[in-house]
């Protein structure tokens, strides 16, 4: 029998749990429900399952876990909820309670508990795997390979980007001094995130370049690790999440700003305080840390306050039609929608077009897309329709996770649309 | 519990993935939008064709298995609760819009089409389907027909039954029956379509719906009138209608909701106002101009402290969003919220409001209400706690008094939500006994084994 003590994480969000009055409006907004059209897909159904678990009417079963995992945490339900019930809080907390009671399942326990917190080892494993992808797998298009080895769990016929031949941390020095005379006096810590580090290092180089050219000193602390999103948000492993959080808080202790180019990382790090603060010390440290985190577009527009003339397109993007995809973590989790659009509208050499449903989830959501690739693809197909409706040549975003998904989606659709990080677009 | 071979047969009919039996799934089909009712089904079936529904019903009929038809399950009557277990027959996957005919001004849809999706598709063609239950973001067309739903627009445009021109219905026997057609006029025999419109899933399963449409109004204007006296507000509504002006919507928001909304999402509402009345006129630009001036005059003459006219579409939208957030404000306010759905004749609105005040004083319960003032359809709510047995019993009695008051003014038990489980204990009191008997006879004839949504609308004999 499950004891009440096992629900201690959910109980922290009792208000959200009770706030849902079952109006069912979330059915209209939930990307997963829109594909499956069954009640366990949507916030109301998931919340009712958690209530039933607490009431002793349900047990921790495989079915329970599967339904709880089938959520992208996109927050569209909450954004449109008349009662303002934050059911994603309940879902994360319920995942955590389950891990406390039952542990994490293989093979994710190896990856989450052991590999991700060990950044250097993780890098080596990724590197090791990348040799194999070159030997065994044919190149499909450019640097995009069909089913890379290291993430064969991610595979299932999916197009995923190749592991970079050299990681970002191997390419850039720890301290990057401003390259222009009019120094701003601002020194930032750059949080690279796993994807930028291992898969999209050119984005990282661009971030460092752009900032140093605008008078900012950029430090890349070597001690930083994974943000922990897949661990504490995705898998509900709060204990490991805490270790990762503490590592990052320590690595960036000396900085006023922590700049990141991945919306998921930024938002997850801001969420340390909500989900991981188990002591007053952590509460204080995580709150302080959250205040330092700036998404790159937010940093450029709101902190540096760069003039529109600062933004120019790279040569290959000149004269192209560009559209923007709002990452859920940037938009609904952090409230950042204006800044990237300001940047894009400032660029004189491109034509910016707004995408219909630009803020709709792309269906990536990390481990969600591993567990439920079929649903993830269907959600992405709707995104593709939005992109197609704009007639854009390039879709830009601010989250390597979304990029990952959009690359797979455009390739599945044989679409010529190019996927880029917003920083890659900038000269 | 159903026999395993029944589950196997259902899987053969609709395919394995469309039959849900895990307890987690059954849990998520055990409730609707009400606070108090819940019951697990034995199995959930998700058909995609009328033929699958026909075979499912035939199987259920032969084996005397209860079947609860369900759309999105967001009704507030207990109507879609599988109170006797058995099969939940959920139509959410039948969500194709089959035809929108501009020439005939009709559209044909499957029952699982969501009302908002339907209206978005119609808007592209310059068309409009007015019945607008405030659950439009989730409710399915099948559900709105089965419940004969209404909403704010109904003061001018009428309720669902005024729009249904054709139905395809599967009977308990499994027969697929076609009723009506695509013509607005149809005088062929008994109006059987109306038997199924508002039948709350007790007579058949609706599998195809043809509704008539109107052109999307070219212009509209939204007003907000602030009253210090609720009774005067109610009278103002009657005065407007008596003057021969029919606004598209007339909605009523009381002080409790005003304050709650200001707490939740501040938008500068007058928190000291006793009540707000939201109105919208629509039609041709010239008619809208003329009508709104007249409405503002009448509101002021009737004692409105202030009348605000929305400057643009955004401000109008903010007012209406506020109104639709109203129920969230109410339902989040107490452990148990008993909200009802009575309707009184339009000219009795002020009198009814006065009576509610008296009941509140007599019983000691605070009575909150918002609703569709324009058609006399209010949603009085009493805040209580179902776990406090003594108080809950008193709250139920107070609610009975509200029903009595509405009935004594020539009103009805339910304006738009339906009877379901929530109001069935009052049903016999509100219904002519001969009519009730006739209804029971019809039910017996159409569904002799009582498999379709059993236990709803009226109390069962011996229960």
- What are the residue ranges spanned by the domains of chain B? 4-90, 97-215, 217-329, 334-420
Q: Name the DSSP letter for residue A261.
A: S
| Chain B CB within 8 Å of residue A129 CB | no
Residues in B touching A64 (Cβ below 8 Å): 24
Residues in B touching A55 (Cβ below 8 Å): none
Give me A365's structure tokens.
Answer: 């959501």
Question: Tens of pLDDT along B85-135?
Answer: 999 999 999 999 999 999 999 999 999 999 999 999 999 999 999 999 989
CATH number at B4-90: 3.30.43.10
- Tell me the DSSP string of B281-329: EEESHHHHHHHHHHHHHHHHHTT-SEEEE-SSHHHHHHHHHHHHHHHHH
Which residue has 């400032």 as its token pair? A346
Residues 6+ apart with CB under 8 A from A56: A1, A2
Query: Minimal Cα–Cα distance from A39 to chain B, Å?
Result: 6
Out of A19, A37, A39, closest to residue B28 by CB: A39
Query: Minimal Cα–Cα distance from A61 to chain B, Å?
Result: 9
| Chain B CB within 8 Å of residue A23 CB | yes
- Mean pLDDT, chain B, rounded, equals 94
Question: Tens of pLDDT along B246-268?
Answer: 999 999 899 998 998 888 778 88
Residues 6+ apart with CB under 8 A from A187: A216, A217, A218, A219, A255, A256
Question: A311 in helix, strand or coil?
Answer: coil
Question: Tens of pLDDT along A218-264?
Answer: 999 999 999 999 889 998 999 999 999 999 999 999 999 999 999 99
Residue A362 covered by a domain: yes
Question: Tens of pLDDT along B283-341?
Answer: 999 999 999 999 999 999 999 999 999 999 999 998 888 887 777 778 777 888 888 88
Q: Do domains B4-90 and B217-329 have the same CATH topology?
A: no
Residue A74 covered by a domain: yes
Question: Tens of pLDDT along A377-421?
Answer: 999 999 999 999 999 999 999 999 999 899 999 999 999 999 999
| Chain B CB within 8 Å of residue A15 CB | no
Instruction: Say what the pLDDT of residue A129 is.
Output: 60
Chain centroid to CA A203: 15
CA distance A331 to A168: 27
Domain range for A376: 310-425
Instruction: Say what the pLDDT of residue A65 is.
Output: 93
Question: Tens of pLDDT along A106-142?
Answer: 556 666 666 667 777 677 766 656 554 544 333 444 4
Residue A230 covered by a domain: no
CA distance A24 to B74: 6
What is the pLDDT averaged over residues A159-176?
86
Fold that domain B217-329 belongs to in CATH = Alpha-Beta Plaits (3.30.70)
Are the beta carbons of B28 and A23 separated by less than 8 Å? no
Residues in A touching B34 (Cβ below 8 Å): 22
CA distance B37 to B76: 10
CA distance B237 to B346: 8
Fold that domain B97-215 belongs to in CATH = 3.30.465
What is the pLDDT averaged over residues A25-38?
97
Q: Name the DSSP letter for residue B86.
A: S
Residue A361 covered by a domain: yes
**B334-420 under CATH 3.30.70.2740, yes or no:** yes
Out of B24, B95, B137, closest to residue A40 by CB: B24
Are the beta carbons of B264 and A84 separated by less than 8 Å? yes
Q: For residue B335, what is the nearest residue in chain A, using CA coordinates? A: A18
Check which CATH number belongs to the domain holding A350 and give it. Answer: 3.40.50
Question: Tens of pLDDT along B1-12?
Answer: 899 999 999 999
Question: Total domain count for chain A?
Answer: 2
Residue A378: how many CB atoms within 10 A of its CB? Answer: 16
Residue A67 covered by a domain: yes
Query: Minimal Cα–Cα distance from A64 to chain B, Å?
Result: 6
Q: For residue A67, what is the nearest residue in chain B, using CA coordinates? A: B24
What is the pLDDT averaged over residues A208-219?
96
pLDDT surpasses 90 at A97: yes
Check which CATH number belongs to the domain holding A50 and give it. Answer: 1.10.1060.10
What is the pLDDT averaged over residues A273-301?
98
Please tell me which residue, B62 or B378, carries the higher pLDDT value.
B62
CA distance A117 to A198: 15
Question: B162 in helix, strand or coil?
Answer: helix
Residue A317 covered by a domain: yes
- Tell me the DSSP string of A285-300: HHHHHHHHEEEHHHII
Are the beta carbons of B328 and A83 separated by less than 8 Å? yes
Residues in B touching A48 (Cβ below 8 Å): 27-28, 30-31
Instruction: Say what the pLDDT of residue B160 is.
Output: 97
What is the count of residue pairs from A and B with beta carbons less than 8 Å apart? 95
**Half-sphere exposure (Cβ direction) of A307: Cα atoms closer than 13 Å:** 1
Query: Minimal Cα–Cα distance from B396 to chain A, Å?
Result: 20
Residues in A touching B46 (Cβ below 8 Å): 37-38
pLDDT surpasses 50 at A146: no
In b/e form, how buried is each residue of B6-27, taking b as 16+ CB within 10 angstroms? Answer: bbebbbebbeeebbbbbbbbbb
pLDDT surpasses 50 at A143: no
Are the beta carbons of B138 and A45 separated by less than 8 Å? no
Most B CBs within 10 A among A22, A61, A98, hence the mutation to make, goes to A22
The answer to whether B223 and B295 are in contact (CB under 8 A) is: yes
pLDDT surpasses 50 at A23: yes
Are the beta carbons of A37 and B93 separated by less than 8 Å? yes
């Amino acid at each position: 029998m499950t004891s009440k003590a096992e629900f201690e994480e959910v109980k922290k969000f009792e208000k959200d749990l009770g706030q849902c009055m079952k109006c069912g409006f979330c059915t209209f907004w939930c990307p997963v429900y829109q594909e499956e059209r069954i009640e366990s897909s949507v916030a109301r159904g998931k919340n009712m399952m958690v209530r039933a678990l607490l009431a002793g009417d349900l047990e921790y079963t495989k079915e329970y876990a599967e339904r709880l995992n089938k959520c992208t945490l996109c927050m569209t339900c909450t954004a449109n909820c008349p009662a303002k019930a934050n059911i994603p809080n309940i879902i994360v907390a319920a995942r955590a309670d389950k891990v406390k009671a039952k542990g994490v399942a293989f093979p994710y326990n190896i990856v989450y508990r052991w590999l991700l917190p060990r950044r250097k080892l993780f890098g080596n494993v990724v590197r090791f795997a990348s040799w194999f992808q070159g030997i065994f797998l044919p190149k499909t298009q450019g640097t995009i390979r069909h089913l890379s080895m290291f993430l064969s769990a991610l595979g299932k016929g999916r197009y995923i980007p190749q592991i970079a031949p050299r990681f970002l941390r191997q390419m850039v020095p720890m301290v990057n001094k401003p390259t222009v005379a009019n120094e701003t006096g601002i020194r930032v810590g750059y949080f690279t995130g796993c994807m930028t580090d291992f898969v999209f290092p050119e984005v990282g180089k661009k971030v460092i370049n752009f900032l140093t050219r605008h008078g900012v000193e950029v430090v890349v602390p070597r001690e930083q690790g994974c943000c922990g999103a897949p661990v504490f948000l995705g898998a509900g492993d709060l204990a490991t999440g805490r270790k990762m959080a503490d590592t990052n808080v320590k690595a960036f202790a000396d900085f006023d700003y922590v700049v990141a180019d991945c919306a998921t990382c930024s938002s997850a790090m801001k969420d340390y305080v909500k989900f991981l603060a188990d002591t007053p010390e952590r509460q204080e440290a995580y709150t302080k840390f959250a205040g330092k985190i700036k998404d790159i577009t937010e940093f450029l527009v709101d902190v540096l306050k760069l003039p529109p003339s600062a933004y120019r397109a790279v040569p290959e993007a000149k004269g192209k039609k560009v559209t923007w995809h709002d990452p859920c973590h940037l938009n609904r989790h952090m409230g950042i929608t204006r800044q990237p659009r300001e940047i894009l509208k400032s660029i004189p050499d491109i034509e910016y077009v707004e995408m219909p449903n630009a803020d709709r989830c792309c269906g990536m959501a990390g481990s969600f897309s591993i567990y439920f690739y079929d649903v993830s693809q269907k959600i992405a197909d709707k995104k593709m329709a939005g992109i197609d409706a704009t007639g854009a040549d390039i879709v830009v975003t601010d989250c390597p996770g979304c990029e990952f998904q959009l690359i797979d989606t455009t390739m599945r659709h044989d679409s010529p649309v190019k996927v880029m990080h917003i920083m890659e677009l900038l000269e | 519990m159903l026999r395993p071979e029944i589950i196997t047969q259902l899987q053969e009919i609709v395919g394995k993935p469309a039959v849900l039996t895990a307890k987690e799934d059954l849990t998520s089909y055990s409730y609707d939008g009400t606070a108090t009712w819940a019951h697990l089904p034995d199995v959930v079936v998700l058909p995609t064709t009328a033929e699958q529904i026909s075979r499912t019903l035939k199987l259920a009929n032969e084996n005397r298995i209860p079947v609860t038809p369900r759309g999105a399950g967001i009704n507030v009557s207990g109507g879609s609760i599988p109170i006797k277990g058995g099969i939940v027959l959920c139509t959410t996957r039948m969500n194709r819009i089959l035809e929108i005919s501009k020439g005939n001004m009709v559209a044909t849809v499957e029952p699982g089409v969501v009302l908002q999706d339907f209206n978005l598709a119609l808007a592209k063609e310059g068309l409009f389907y007015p019945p607008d239950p405030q659950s439009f973001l989730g409710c399915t067309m099948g559900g709105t027909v089965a419940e004969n739903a209404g909403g704010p627009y109904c003061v001018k445009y009428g309720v669902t039954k005024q729009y249904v021109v054709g139905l395809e219905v599967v009977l308990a026997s499994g027969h697929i029956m076609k009723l009506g057609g695509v013509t607005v006029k149809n005088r062929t025999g008994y109006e059987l379509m109306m038997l199924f419109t508002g039948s709350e899933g007790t007579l058949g399963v609706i599998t195809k719906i043809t509704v008539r449409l109107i052109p999307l109004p070219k212009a509209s204007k939204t007003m907000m009138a602030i009253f210090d006296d609720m009774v005067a507000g109610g009278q103002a509504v009657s005065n407007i209608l008596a003057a021969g002006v029919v606004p598209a919507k007339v909605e009523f928001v009381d002080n409790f909701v005003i304050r709650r909304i200001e707490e939740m999402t501040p938008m500068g509402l007058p928190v000291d106002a006793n009540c707000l009345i939201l109105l919208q006129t629509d039609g041709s630009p010239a008619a809208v101009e003329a009508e709104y001036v007249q409405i503002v005059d009448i509101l002021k003459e009737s004692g409105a402290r202030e009348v605000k006219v929305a400057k643009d579409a955004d401000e109008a939208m903010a007012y209406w969003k506020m109104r639709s957030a109203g129920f969230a404000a109410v339902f989040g306010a107490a452990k148990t919220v008993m909200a009802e759905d009575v309707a009184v004749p339009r000219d009795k609105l002020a009198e009814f409001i006065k009576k509610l005040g008296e009941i509140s004083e007599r019983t000691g319960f605070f009575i909150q209400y918002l609703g569709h003032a324009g058609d006399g359809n209010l949603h009085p709510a009493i805040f209580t706690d179902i776990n406090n047995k003594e108080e809950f019993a008193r709250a139920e009695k107070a609610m009975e008094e509200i029903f009595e008051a509405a009935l004594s003014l020539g009103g009805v038990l339910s304006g738009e939500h339906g009877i379901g489980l929530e109001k069935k204990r009052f049903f016999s009191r509100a219904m002519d006994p001969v009519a009730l008997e006739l209804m029971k006879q019809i039910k017996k004839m159409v569904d002799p084994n009582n498999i379709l949504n059993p236990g709803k609308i009226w109390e069962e004999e011996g229960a």
